[in-house]
């Protein structure tokens, strides 16, 4: 224990000097990152095509290099997967993270280089540890085990590349010493049969000194609740007395916090991280705040597109020094994995400029704007949380999309909600949700005025495990996969409707509102 504390203290002192540097000089650090990325990329096919040797400034870079999407880079990625190198990045690319960030059955394969693995993903993990221990110097969670909820990865024998969930790629490449703090063993952590995997994780950790768990909230809950079921206990600290930390990311924690609170000590600490297949971006550095510190020295250069300009010709794109508080931005990244001015599909709002802190506000494709209401995920999460707090309800999962009425110009939002604990008065819950959305979003409020454009929302209470069935049908049952919260079309809603009616025996309850 003393050795662990000594190593942690040494690491904290060394790394905090570097963190303080980018806190003090954020724009300088970001400019250095961009210069290094352009220098590294000059000899690649992408760099030659876009004349990187002539780039002297951010303006030159923006002029020479277009904003890209996955579809733009896909021809290059496919060639790298087939064995070609020096196309997007000068060093060998051996890993591809299978992204769950798409709502279609087709997956994305994001390149992961040695540079991005070491200088971004692993560096982010170390900084997460450093920031937590800095704020909690008495913590001893490193003296026990951490359950890391990982996905799966497999070797392509023809090319020698690993393809799979980022979490599995990270787990497979961890140094040997790092595995001593993880539980269960690697073979269980990355197995692909989740129905067996959950039980094996619990069976192999229930007698361990588990002190933390990390992953997507929904799947961490599955494991923790299964541990209670197998052990016959009612509280996690009855199984693991020293349990102290939940490390979460991937989706908003708001809908899950009551379920965690039910089974964990009030003293349990929570730390949010913002990482994705494309990179590790931000870390919660204070339990007193619900925003995240943007990490600026991970080999990622950031640009931001105001969502008010999204989808328009020649949209405005700005660097970090020009962002404003409270505005919704789409993130554009250039990275040491060979992603050049890549729009990852996430949106953020800046909550602080000294230092730069953000909140994840949603996805560029995860919103409802069927009547000009521009409802984003952040609005939905806040409204759901408000309705749950007032009614005592606990939500397990939810999604929403537009509802169009035949022979009527009006539309509404249709919500599919799976409750852990249903509200006693569901109509009251629906009214609270509707009113909270009005309070969060003035465009929604305007469209809801006297039901002239948007009708009252239709709330459907779905059977238990509806969303698990949907994920399984999509081949996305696993630790990194999550349910999209909002959609501007009815694809997910209609898929759920079919599952509920054909496989689960119909809805538990629907709050239908007649349109006058």
**pLDDT reading at 100 higher than 70:** no
- Report pLDDT for 176: 67
**Helix, strand, or coil (residue 144):** coil
Q: In angstroms, what CA-CA distances link 162 with 97, 110, 157, 174? A: 8, 11, 9, 14
For 459-471, write each residue's pLDDT tens digit: 999 999 999 999 8
- Report pLDDT for 95: 93
For 4-13, write each residue's pLDDT tens digit: 545 655 666 6
Q: Average pLDDT of 373-387?
A: 89
**pLDDT reading at 2 higher than 60:** no
DSSP state of 143: G
Q: Average pLDDT of 152-157?
A: 73
- Report pLDDT for 514: 39
Q: Looking at per-residue confidence, does 100 or 233 come out higher?
A: 233
Question: Token pair for residue 406?
Answer: 């035949």
**pLDDT reading at 480 higher than 70:** no
Q: Looking at per-residue confidence, does 194 or 28 come out higher?
A: 28
Q: How far apart are alpha carbons 338 and 445 in whole angstroms?
A: 43
**pLDDT reading at 159 higher than 80:** no
| Cβ atoms within 10 Å of 140's Cβ, excluding its own | 13
Q: How far apart are alpha carbons 33 and 266 in whole angstroms?
A: 41
**Helix, strand, or coil (residue 176):** helix
Q: Kindly report the average pLDDT of the chain as a whole number.
A: 87
- Report pLDDT for 10: 65
Q: Looking at per-residue confidence, does 162 or 389 come out higher?
A: 389
Q: Average pLDDT of 281-303?
A: 95
- Report pLDDT for 372: 72
- Which residues are bridge partners to 163 per DSSP? 96, 154
**pLDDT reading at 509 higher than 50:** yes
- Report pLDDT for 152: 77
Cis peptide before 314 (omega within 30 of 0): no
Cα 337–48–111 angle (5° rounding)? 15
* Residues 338, 46 contacting (CB under 8 angstroms): yes
Helices (H), 82-137: 114-116, 122-135
**pLDDT reading at 112 higher than 80:** yes
Among 290-304, 389-403, 439-453, 491-505, the range scoring the smallest mean pLDDT is 439-453
- Report pLDDT for 407: 52
**pLDDT reading at 451 higher than 70:** yes
- Report pLDDT for 409: 53
- Report pLDDT for 102: 42
**pLDDT reading at 232 higher than 70:** yes
- Report pLDDT for 13: 62
**pLDDT reading at 478 higher than 70:** no
**pLDDT reading at 105 higher than 50:** no
Report the candidate in 421, 433, 435 with the shortest Cα–Cα distance to residue 464. 421
Q: Looking at per-residue confidence, does 488 or 311 come out higher?
A: 488
Q: Of the spans 32-36, 157-161, 410-414, 491-495, which averages the highest pLDDT?
A: 32-36
Q: What is the domain partition of the chain in residue ranges? A: 2-363, 367-511
- Report pLDDT for 177: 63
For 61-72, write each residue's pLDDT tens digit: 999 999 999 999
Please give the CATH superfamily to which domain 2-363 belongs. ANL, N-terminal domain (3.40.50.12780)
* Residues 65, 332 contacting (CB under 8 angstroms): no
Cis peptide before 93 (omega within 30 of 0): no
Question: Token pair for residue 434?
Answer: 């509707």
**pLDDT reading at 269 higher than 60:** yes
Q: Looking at per-residue confidence, does 367 or 107 come out higher?
A: 367
């Amino acid at each position: 224990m003393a050795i662990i504390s000594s190593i942690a203290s040494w690491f904290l002192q060394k790394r905090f000097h570097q963190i303080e540097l980018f806190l003090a000089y954020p724009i300088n650090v970001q400019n250095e990152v961009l210069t290094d990325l352009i220098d590294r990329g000059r000899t690649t096919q992408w760099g030659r095509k876009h004349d990187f040797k002539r780039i002297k400034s951010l303006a030159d870079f923006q002029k020479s290099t277009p904003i890209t999407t996955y579809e733009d880079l896909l021809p290059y990625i496919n060639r790298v997967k087939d064995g070609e190198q020096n196309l997007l990045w000068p060093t060998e690319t051996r890993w591809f993270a299978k992204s769950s960030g798409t709502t279609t059955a087709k997956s994305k394969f994001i390149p992961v280089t040695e540079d991005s693995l070491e200088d971004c993903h692993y560096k982010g993990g170390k900084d997460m540890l450093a920031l937590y221990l800095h704020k909690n110097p008495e913590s001893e969670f490193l003296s026990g085990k951490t359950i890391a909820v990982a996905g799966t990865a497999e070797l392509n024998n023809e090319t020698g590349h690993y393809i799979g969930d980022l979490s599995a790629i990270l787990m497979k490449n961890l140094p040997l010493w790092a595995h001593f703090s993880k539980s269960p063993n690697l073979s269980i952590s990355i197995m692909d049969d989740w129905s067996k995997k959950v039980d094996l994780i619990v069976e192999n950790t229930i007698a361990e000194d588990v002190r933390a768990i990390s992953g997507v909230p929904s799947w961490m809950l599955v494991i923790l609740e299964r541990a209670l079921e197998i052990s016959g206990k009612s509280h996690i600290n009855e199984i693991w007395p020293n349990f102290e930390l939940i490390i979460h990311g991937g989706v908003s924690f708001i809908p899950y916090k009551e379920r965690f609170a039910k089974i964990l000590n009030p003293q349990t600490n929570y730390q949010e991280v913002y990482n994705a297949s494309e990179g590790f971006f931000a870390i919660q550095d204070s339990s007193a705040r619900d925003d995240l510190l943007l990490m600026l020295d991970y080999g990622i250069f950031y640009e931001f597109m105001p969502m008010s300009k999204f989808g328009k010709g020649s949209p405005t794109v700005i660097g970090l020094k020009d962002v404003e508080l409270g505005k919704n931005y789409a993130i554009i990244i250039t990275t040491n994995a060979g992603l050049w001015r890549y729009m990852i599909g996430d949106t953020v709002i800046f909550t602080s400029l000294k230092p730069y802190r953000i909140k994840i506000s949603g996805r560029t494709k995860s919103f409802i704007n069927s009547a000009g209401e521009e409802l984003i995920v952040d609005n939905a999460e806040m409204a759901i949380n408000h309705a749950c707090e007032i009614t005592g309800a606990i939500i397990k999962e939810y999604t929403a999309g537009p509802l169009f009425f035949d022979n009527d110009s009006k539309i509404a939002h249709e919500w599919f909600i799976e409750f852990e604990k249903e509200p006693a008065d569901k109509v009251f819950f629906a009214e609270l949700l509707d009113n909270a959305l009005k309070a969060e979003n003035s465009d929604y409020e305007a469209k809801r005025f006297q039901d002239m454009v948007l009708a009252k929302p239709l709330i459907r209470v779905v059977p238990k495990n509806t969303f698990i069935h949907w994920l399984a049908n999509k081949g996305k049952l696993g630790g990194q996969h999550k349910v999209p919260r909002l959609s501007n079309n009815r694809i997910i809603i209609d898929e759920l409707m079919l599952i509920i009616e054909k496989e689960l025996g119909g809805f538990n309850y629907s709050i239908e509102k007649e349109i006058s």
